[in-house]
Amino acid sequence: MKAIFPTFIGLFLSLIMVCPISAQVRWIGAPAGGLWTTASNWSIGRIPNMADSILLSTSSADTLAIRNIPAVLSCVKLRIAGNTKVRFWGDTTTVITLTGGAGTDLLIDSTASLTLSADTSFNAARGILLNLATGATAEIWGHLHFTTNGAQSNPHRLQALSANAIIFRNKSIFTMGSGAAGNPFGLGSGLSANQSVLFEDGATYVFNSGSNPFGATNTSVTTFSPKSTYKINVSGSSFSNRTYGNVELINPSYSSTSTGSGVLTIHGNLILGAGKMKLNLTGGVQVKGNVQVANGAVLTLGSDVTLAMSGTSEQLITHQNGIVFTDSSSILKMANPNGVKLKNPLSLYHLELANGSLLLDSADVEVTRYITGGSSSSHVVTSGSGMLRRTNVGASTVIFPIGASKTSYDPVSLTNAGTVDTFSARVDTLVTNPPAFRGNGNFIMNREWHISEKKAGGSNVMATFGMDSSKLNINNTTFTPANVVLAHYNNNSWNELPATRNNEAVTAMGLTQFSTFAIANAGAFTRVGIAENRFQYGLKAYPNPTTDILNIDFLNITPNTTCVILDVTGRIKYSQPLILNMRIITNDWLSGIYFIAIRHDNELQIIDKIIKK
């Protein structure tokens, strides 16, 4: 027993000598920095070793610049605390490994920053590799910055071996600064693992130099959460088969084309504050937030590229003549059940209405070739002043899949036997100057189509309007789809045109003038006040009620005027040029109410009513 005790003491002492005692080591040197290898710069009077956790914290506004870091360095943890700004200089190729312990192993506080830097004016520009061992973790709440002056012999990197080991928290910033090179988080092999870096919602990656943040070709080292932001200043980003949160272009001199067959997915907003970006990605682009292109910036969608607006809440497309869809099969696709609002005019080659509506507000949209889809759940909503414009309307039927709201589908289709032209259309629920009197109320559907052509004259159009019988009459009663006509508002007056009804559609032929149209029962727009017009013509109708003979006398005769008698459905029962005294046989008329009207200059005015017994 006595022999054992001295042996144990000796072993204990030898272990102390071999394994340094662990400690938290603080920088106590000059707040402007100094040499890592100067023992007096550290709180324990020696250079930190592999068992230590390092704390860098100063109250100075100066940047704590530290040089002469050993080429190979291991420690347990590293923290940049408070408002401290730290710069590590790569005087030689430097590998720092954090072995890890309880809690977070690399921690940059929310108002702190760490810059990995190199400078050829001082020495060869050497990269700093900051590696996390298996199980070690990092949280960046503040700013991590990679930069160099001159060409680097090897790039700076922050690498980890565990899933989501490195997390950039809300409001944190990572900057690939001037001169930085390579993939900042590794290639997904060796000391870098796929899915090891996470940019949380609110975190920002600023791309000023180097290679893309994903590293691996078919997989990804880095994951961007839906509300994180990737800011682009230079070319070199990876877009094919990549997923981002928000993507923002901020450099006016940026001009780059991205190619590939994979899909670019943007969970947040695509914002071009400046510069020119062409996405020639045949796999397509999916944006779940807004698309915003500032004045002077240009976003171009290449041939065979689909921009799918696929969010779950209403999205916006805003631009100042800066979104270009090429003329060879690029597509804007509606894939959002809550719709996409267009804030500025846009010209498209192909509009695909797959799910959800395009809301025009006050902006026009022009489609030069195709519109596919169109239904009660996916159409172009024209509740504002914006119109859907289609070019080359000729002998082939062209549909305008428009609606007055997201839930109202009111399409119109045009077939032009005349000169090929460009037509625009919109529909709303406010009927222009409707008559004050509408019989029993079931006369005018509360939809009004506005149609215009680019060059007046030469057209000969058959127009078919969607007539949903569930739509209300303008007096909020159910519209009765019987004896339907197409009404045309032109020169401040309505004119009823012959039309045919086929189920839920109304078709009129031979249209040569275009403005405002509505669907009504025959006679709805002719019943426009009785008493005030009766005295204008000095009308006297007797006997009233009548049985066999109706006498109509006029004291005032206007040239080119016709007397018309309508039944309650609006059908013309009698018509004759106006004379002073008229005698009409009525013995074969059905009992009921009839209306006496005057037609002058294609305007029909009701001036009296009679009853047939």
Three-state secondary structure string covering 315-350: EEEEECCCEEECCCCCEEEEECCCCEEECCCEEEEE
The verdict on residue 448 lying in a domain is yes
3-state secondary structure of 106: strand
User: Is 233 found in the same domain as 97?
Assistant: yes
Q: Are the CB atoms for 356 and 378 separated by under 8 Å?
A: yes
Q: How far apart are the first and last CA of the chain?
A: 136
Q: Which domain holds residue 119?
A: 18-238
Domain count, the chain: 4
Helix, strand and coil percent figures for the chain, each rounded to 5: 5, 45, 50
Q: Are the CB atoms for 66 and 35 separated by under 8 Å?
A: yes
Q: Are the CB atoms for 333 and 373 separated by under 8 Å?
A: no
Q: Say which residue the tokens 């005698």 belong to.
A: 583
- Give the Cα separation of 131 and 37 in Å (integer): 20
| pLDDT score, position 133 | 96
Phi-psi region of 301 (alpha: psi -120 to 50; beta: other; left: phi over 0): beta
User: Is 281 found in the same domain as 296?
Assistant: yes
- Give the Cα separation of 56 and 60 in Å (integer): 12
Q: Are the CB atoms for 560 and 483 separated by under 8 Å?
A: no
**601, exposed or middle or buried, with CB in 10 Å at 0-12, 13-18, 19+?**
exposed
Residue 527 DSSP class: -
CATH number of the domain enclosing 588: 2.60.40.3080
| pLDDT score, position 125 | 67
| pLDDT score, position 573 | 86
The verdict on residue 607 lying in a domain is yes
User: Is 560 found in the same domain as 510?
Assistant: no
| pLDDT score, position 602 | 66
- Give the Cα separation of 613 and 610 in Å (integer): 10
Q: Are strands 421-428 and 388-393 parallel, antiparallel or unpaired?
A: antiparallel
Q: Say which residue the tokens 């012959």 belong to.
A: 498
DSSP codes of every residue in 581-605? EEEEE-TTSPSEEEEEEEEETTEEE
The verdict on residue 151 lying in a domain is yes
The verdict on residue 24 lying in a domain is yes
| pLDDT score, position 523 | 76
Reported pTM: 0.81
The verdict on residue 138 lying in a domain is yes
Residue 430 structure tokens: 């406010």
Q: What is the mean pLDDT for each group of 10 consecutive residues in the chain (613 residues)? A: 45 40 85 95 95 94 93 96 94 91 96 90 77 97 91 84 97 94 93 96 96 87 97 94 96 93 97 95 97 94 95 95 83 97 94 97 94 96 95 96 95 97 95 66 82 94 88 77 86 85 90 94 65 64 90 84 78 86 91 81 73 86
Q: Are strands 500-502 and 493-497 parallel, antiparallel or unpaired?
A: unpaired
Q: Phi first, then psi: what are they for 474, rounded to 5°?
A: -65, -10
User: Is 516 found in the same domain as 369?
Assistant: no
The verdict on residue 385 lying in a domain is no
Q: Are the CB atoms for 483 and 571 separated by under 8 Å?
A: yes
The verdict on residue 7 lying in a domain is no
| pLDDT score, position 430 | 85
User: Is 79 found in the same domain as 190?
Assistant: yes
Helix (H) or strand (E) holding 58: none
User: Is 208 found in the same domain as 167?
Assistant: yes
| pLDDT score, position 569 | 61
CA nearest neighbour of 240 among 264, 256, 269:
264
- Domain stops at, among 238, 258, 284: 238
Q: Are the CB atoms for 605 and 598 separated by under 8 Å?
A: yes
User: Is 228 found in the same domain as 108?
Assistant: yes
User: Is 98 found in the same domain as 211?
Assistant: yes
Residue 220 structure tokens: 């990804």
User: Is 365 found in the same domain as 494?
Assistant: no
Edge to edge, what strands does the sheet with 323-325 contain? Answer: 255-260, 276-281, 298-301, 323-325
User: Is 258 found in the same domain as 115?
Assistant: no
- Domain stops at, among 526, 560, 593: 526
User: Is 593 found in the same domain as 540?
Assistant: yes
User: Is 76 found in the same domain as 199?
Assistant: yes
- Give the Cα separation of 215 and 499 in Å (integer): 65
The verdict on residue 69 lying in a domain is yes
- Give the Cα separation of 256 and 271 in Å (integer): 15
* Cis peptide, bond prior to residue 6, ω within 30 of zero: no
Q: Say which residue the tokens 């290898």 belong to.
A: 37
| pLDDT score, position 22 | 58
